[in-house]
Amino acid sequence: MTPEQLLDEASTLLHRPSRSMRRCWQRGCACLTRLALEQGLRIYWDRVAPSVSGCPMRHQLLALPAFVDASTALLARTAWHGLSRAMHHHVYELAPTVSELEGWHRDVTRLLPQLHAVTFANNTTNSA
């Protein structure tokens, strides 16, 4: 699935969770959104710096400010950390709220085109 398809599925789960997911739809939505972010970053790194693509996500996020503007790197980092925290189930913690999930979904939806634009700009600069 593409990052966009994963985000579509996360949106469906967020707004119309199925009955079979009544107790875990929040974490499922967080998982799909984080997968979309990770896959979008993998596509970005494959085009811009293939050696970074195979690194752990924390390392990729640390390298990102060297390739994109600070706000884009911050958006990716905060979304990934929030989604990662939301995915881990602890008995003593509440599931993420709809508002939190919508915010992360919105952030990742906004981030993916920014990464694509940077990739496209780098490819056209290298071609010239």
pLDDT in 10s for each residue of the chain, 128 residues: 999 999 999 999 999 888 877 778 999 999 999 999 999 999 999 999 999 999 999 999 999 999 999 999 999 999 999 999 998 877 777 888 999 999 999 999 999 999 988 655 555 555 55
User: Do residues 101 and 14 make contact, with C-beta atoms less than 8 angstroms apart?
Assistant: yes
**First-to-last C-alpha distance (Å) of the chain:** 32
User: CA-CA distance, 42 to 48, in Å (whole number)?
Assistant: 10
Give the count of domains, the chain.
Answer: 1
CA angle centred on 63, ends 117 and 85, rounded to 5°: 95
Residues in the chain: 128
pTM of the model: 0.87
Q: What is the model's pLDDT at position 46? A: 95
User: CA-CA distance, 34 to 3, in Å (whole number)?
Assistant: 9
User: CA-CA distance, 128 to 126, in Å (whole number)?
Assistant: 6
Its domain, for residue 85, covers 3-127
